[in-house]
């Protein structure tokens, strides 16, 4: 008789023990969701895994971790199931698996290759244009980036659809969306069971640093997206073409957003280096670090490009920034970027199933 050592089987074993104990019931959304079932199907485990924020508070509170014979490690068990769900529901799956293990090398090579491509394009300068549009025509950038943005989003949408079916998400109501967005905006489940923070990088010491860095990254990204969106409206609807002055919406959104992303990436990277790899999915460390570096790289090269306006550095910095942005887009369905979509779907599904989600 052979033992089933798959991530799902190990997570199921540990979750069933947790469900009998329930000591950590108030820690995060995972534990009240767990109490709905006595037996856990694959879809139930996928849902619990994507509700988990890997804050690790439950591990340090648990009396059944090693050297106890139960050897519970819920953060690592759910992390393995979570990553497996990202890989399994991605298209193509093989590409997702390679990125999760070789993410830093893959992202780095793609950035270098695309930077050379964009640098070559700048050799054929347009006859008109100001700012970086003097190096690459606006229509050229649109033709390159539109499919590179839309197609990965379509793949992510298909993955989220499959996730929703697997976990039995059911009908979505406005109240469910509002509750889930509120939880995501506040990152409530990173505050720990008593609102004192999580234990990600400091053992049994509580801290809010991971939550703060996540919020800097998320809201910085949204500000940068707002900068791009406002610039698009100004270009097409108002006929106001770039470059834009500092006191304009693209800059008022983009500069603070970029600074927030750089700070968030730096903080998350440091925490990642300090964290105990045994409490997460250690095999995908490269993919997770690549995602942090890509986000920080997009923000840092964008800020550097703005600072270099009017100098000879605009050409190479533009090529590097565009390459970094494109790699972030192209790898979106396979990188940890997809966790944001899955986690929001998990929160919406949980709201629909009656979980109060720790108000």
Write down the H helix ranges in the chain.
7-21, 30-34, 42-51, 57-61, 74-89, 93-121, 138-167, 174-186, 209-236, 249-274, 285-307, 314-330, 337-352
15's CB contacts (< 8 A; 6+ apart) are 34, 40, 45, 48, 74, 77
Backbone angles phi, psi at 262, to 5 degrees: -65, -45
Structure tokens at 75: 């953060």
64-78, 214-228, 307-321: segment of lowest average pLDDT: 307-321
pLDDT digits (tens, 9 = 90+) for 28-47: 889 889 988 888 999 999 99
Q: Which residue has the higher pLDDT, 205 or 174?
A: 174
Domain residue ranges in the chain: 7-85, 94-352
pLDDT band, very low/low/confident/very high, at 202 (cuts 50, 70, 90): low
Torsion of CA 333, 341, 14, 196, to 10 degrees: 130
> Looking at residues 243-263, what average pLDDT do you find?
93
CA dist., res. 324 & res. 224, Å (int): 14
Q: Tokens standing for 298?
A: 């997009």
Beta partners for 198? Answer: 207
pLDDT in tens, 315-346: 889 999 999 999 999 999 988 889 899 999 99
CB 217 within 8 A of CB 265: yes
Where would I find the H helices in 132-248? 138-167, 174-186, 209-236
- Answer for the pair 221, 197: CB distance below 8 angstroms, yes or no: no
CA-nearest of 319, 295, 292 to 305 is 319
pTM of the predicted model as reported, rounded to 2 decimal places:
0.88
Query: Domain 94-352 belongs to what topology?
Result: Fumarate Reductase Cytochrome B subunit (1.20.950)
């Amino acid at each position: 008789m052979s033992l089933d050592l798959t991530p799902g089987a190990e997570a199921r074993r540990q979750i069933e023990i947790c469900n009998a104990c329930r000591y950590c019931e108030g820690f995060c959304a995972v534990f009240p969701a767990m109490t709905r079932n006595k037996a856990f199907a694959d879809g139930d485990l996928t849902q619990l895994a994507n509700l988990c924020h890997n804050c690790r508070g439950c591990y340090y509170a648990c009396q059944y971790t090693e050297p106890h014979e139960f050897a519970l490690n819920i953060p690592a068990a759910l992390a393995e199931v979570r990553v497996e769900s990202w890989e399994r529901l991605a298209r193509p799956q093989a590409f997702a698996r390679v990125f999760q293990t070789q993410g830093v090398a893959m992202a780095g090579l793609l950035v270098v290759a695309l930077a050379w491509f964009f640098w070559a394009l700048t050799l054929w300068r347009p006859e008109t244009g100001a700012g970086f549009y003097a190096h690459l025509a606006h229509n050229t950038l649109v033709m390159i980036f539109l499919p590179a943005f839309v197609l990965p989003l379509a793949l992510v949408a298909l993955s989220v659809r499959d996730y929703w079916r697997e976990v039995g998400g059911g009908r979505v109501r406005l109240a469910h969306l509002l509750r889930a967005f509120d939880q995501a905006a506040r990152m409530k489940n990173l505050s720990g069971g008593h609102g004192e923070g999580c234990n990600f990088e400091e053992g049994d010491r509580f801290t809010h640093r991971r939550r703060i860095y996540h919020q800097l990254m998320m809201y910085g990204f949204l500000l940068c997206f707002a900068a791009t969106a406002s610039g698009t409206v100004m270009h097409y609807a108002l006929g106001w073409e770039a470059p834009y002055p500092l006191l304009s919406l693209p800059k008022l959104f983009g500069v603070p957003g970029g600074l927030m992303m750089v700070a968030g990436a730096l903080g998350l990277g440091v925490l990642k280096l300090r964290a105990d790899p045994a409490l997460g999915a250690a095999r995908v460390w490269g993919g997770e670090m690549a995602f942090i570096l890509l986000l920080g790289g997009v923000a840092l090269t964008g800020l550097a490009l703005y600072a270099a306006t009017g100098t000879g550095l605009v050409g190479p910095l533009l090529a590097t920034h565009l390459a970094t942005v494109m790699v972030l887009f192209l790898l979106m369905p396979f990188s940890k970027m997809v966790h944001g979509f899955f986690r929001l779907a998990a929160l919406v599904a949980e709201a629909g199933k009656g979980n109060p989600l720790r108000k």
